Amino acid sequence: MLQYNFFPESFEKNCQIENILQCFVQVEEQIDSQNKQLSSNEVLSLLRPYLIEADMQVEEGKAKSQRIRVPILFGLTNEDEKYFEPDAVSRDGKIVLEVEAGRAVDNNQFLKDIFKRDNYHWLLKKFEYPFWQKHSE
């Protein structure tokens, strides 16, 4: 069974969120934790083509050049002081996706994701979307 959290919980899911959920439905049998023991990266690799089709920018790998860097605090001369690297981000910057599977679920990785989400939510109120593209080059 597909399980997900959507934040903030006071928001109703919209068409864009539904499109992302359908990406998971497409690979649900391949990623079913009851029958498979995949890592988060393995799940993301199965999801990648569907997420790209849903107009998401998706991490391509673990090399620095393949990750998505989203700054959350800026220091002197507007340099990225703190940032996080989500698995995927909508092109407009309003949706951030973290995929957790296997040991990440057992180790409560979602708590770290919630912390990152809270910082990101604050930034979305402060800056235009997608603000990180101005700083990532």
> What one-character-per-residue DSSP string does 44-80 give?
HHHHHHHHHHTTEEE---SSGGGS--EEEEE-GGG-E
Q: Give the N- to C-terminal CA distance of the chain in Å, as an integer.
A: 39
- Residue with the larger pLDDT of the pair 93 and 20: 20
Q: Give the Cα separation of 38 and 44 in Å (integer).
A: 10
Cβ atoms of 40 and 113 closer than 8 Å:
no
| pTM exceeds 0.85, yes or no | no
**CA separation for the pair 24, 38 (Å, rounded):** 14
In this prediction, residue 42 carries a pLDDT of 92
C-alpha count within 13 angstroms, C-beta hemisphere, residue 22: 13
Report pLDDT digits (tens) over 52-74: 999 999 999 889 899 998 887 78
The predicted-structure confidence for 25-53, as pLDDT tens digits, reads as follows 999 999 988 888 888 899 999 999 999 99
CB atoms closer than 10 angstroms to residue 38: 16
